[in-house]
Amino acid sequence: MWLAGFSRGIQEMHRKASLVLEDAVRNIYTVVAYCAGNKVMELYRLQLGKILKQSFFHGMGIGFAFGFSQFLLFACNALLLWYTAVSVKDGRLTIATGLKEYMVFSFATFALVEPFGLAPYILKRRKSLISVFEIIDREPKIDPDDNTGLKPPNVYGSIELRNVDFCYPTRPEVMVLSNFSLKVNGGQTIAVVGVLGSGKSTIISLIERFYDPVAGQVLLDGRDLKLFNLRWLRSHMGLVQQEPVIFSTTIRENIIYARHNATDAEIKEAARIANAHHFISSLPHGYDTHVGMSGINLTPGQKQRIAIARVVLKNAPILLLDEASSAIESESSRVVQEALDTLIMGNKTTILIAHRAAMMRHVDDIVVLNSGRVVEQGTHDSLVQMNGLYVRLMQPHFSKGLRQHRLV
């Protein structure tokens, strides 16, 4: 137990030393700009000095334990060999019987003593094994493989968050949404805007049921989401994330990911609606072009259009767009904007998170969040007349600073 505790202490020191280097590499431009290379090396040297001292005593302990176990092993073998030789000399045993008994006792002694030499390594790995089995044995609160639950034949698309309280499991002390309520009628398009940390993306996570609220309810067509079959629920929702997820395969496989039985004509039509067909056709291998790791061979705008084509092909009655055009370079912004405009102009229930004023003219209602609460709500024109938080968020000169600081 002492060696196990000692080993954990050394591992913690190694972690702290690694953090020094990780921070330096991650922020290398800042380190170089402030000529702080020597300071980083000094901090790392200081951490290594602590590790050296502790590792020395740890190594001495392990070495002593291993040496003592080997001493016992060979001492027992020597004692057995001596006793066998004396017994044969005195005529109590024959040579054949003596050798048999010596071999049996020798292997038995080895089996008993050897674990003492392995004990430090067993104790060292025990903590890692415990954490692995904890993950294997963990039962998720939201089980995607549960085949029970409602599977209605039709979805109207009415969504309501009723008196919702929510905090993320990793930060239970921070309440992201507090007594939050929002209702979206079927076929309605609502935009959600707000400062950073106001709970915009959390709303989408709750609707997709990535998380369950701490208190309150999330309803679809008047029924709690917990009553629906989870796979059925998510199959009726189309999600375009702020950072588009592109898999390391062909463009065709990325688009067809939404509906594996789609025809080639349907794939191309989805790409046309997303304004992606032209640039895909201009690639050397067209739709069979490999995009590289996480779409590294594509621009942000191209990746976003592929993600939009994917959700178009899914043709889900509910659309969830999480700041889908916020990270696009200026030359692609117009093309992506046109694709999003086409996407949200249908009769689908759409919840749009965005900070671009151009998107707001195509929505039925706008909800402005701050600190997990609705502070303003209305159409674009009515909110402009109010001259409140919405106007400041939409102003290019002020939006960046406001998004980086929670307003009170």
Q: Give the DSSP per-residue string, 340-392.
A: HHHHHTSSSEEEEE---HHHHTT-SEEEEEETTEEEEEE-HHHHHHHTSHHHH
Return the DSSP state at 65.
H
Q: Domain 159-403 maps to which CATH number in 3.40.50.300, 3.30.70.100, 3.60.20.10, 1.10.101.10?
A: 3.40.50.300
pLDDT the model gives residue 131: 76
Q: What is the pLDDT of residue 369?
A: 87
* Per-position DSSP letters for 259-291, written without gaps between them: -TT--HHHHHHHHHHTT-HHHHHTSTTGGG-B-
| Out of 63-67, 219-223, 283-287, least confident range | 63-67
In the chain, CATH 3.40.50.300 covers: 159-403
Q: What is the pLDDT of residues 260-315, one digit of tens each?
A: 888 999 999 988 888 888 888 888 888 888 887 666 778 888 888 888 888 888 88
Closest CA to 338 of 390, 274, 268, 401: 274
CB 389 within 8 A of CB 368: yes
Instruction: Tell me the percentage of the chain whose pLDDT exceeds 90.
Output: 5
> Six-digit token pair at 225?
């989401």
- Residue 399: pLDDT above 60? no
120 pLDDT tier (thresholds 50, 70, 90): low
CB 159 within 8 A of CB 206: no
**pLDDT band at 115, cuts 50/70/90?**
low
Q: How far apart are the first and last CA of the chain?
A: 51
In whole angstroms, how large is the CA radius of gyration of the chain?
32
List Cβ neighbours of 383 (8 Å cut-off, separation of 6 or more): 366, 368, 376, 390, 391
285, amino acid identity: H
* pLDDT given for residue 55 in this prediction: 74
User: Which of 207, 182, 179, 206 is closest to 192 using CA atoms?
Assistant: 182
Give me the DSSP letters along 291-338: --GGGTTS-HHHHHHHHHHHHHHHT-SEEEEESTTTT--HHHHHHHHH
Closest CA to 358 of 386, 389, 325, 383: 325
Could you write out the DSSP letters of every residue in 88-110? HHTTSS-HHHHHHHHHHHHHHHH
Quick one: DSSP state of residue 34?
T
As a whole number of angstroms, the distance between CA 224 and CA 123 comes to 47
| pLDDT recorded at residue 335 | 66
Which tens digits make up the pLDDT trace of 370-385? 888 888 888 888 888 8
Beta strand pairing status for 365-370 and 373-378?
antiparallel
Judged by average pLDDT, the poorest of 5-19, 121-135, 189-203, 361-375 is 5-19
pLDDT tens digits along 341-354: 666 666 788 888 87
Whether residue 206 is predicted with pLDDT greater than 60 in this model: the reply is yes
Q: Would you state the CATH architecture of domain 2-137?
A: Up-down Bundle (1.20)
The burial of 88, by beta-carbon neighbours within 10 Å (0-12 exposed, 13-18 middle, 19 or more buried), is given as middle
Distance between CA atoms of residues 14 and 205, nearest Å: 36
| Start and end residues for every CATH 1.20.1560.10 domain found in the chain | 2-137
- Mean pLDDT (the chain) is 78
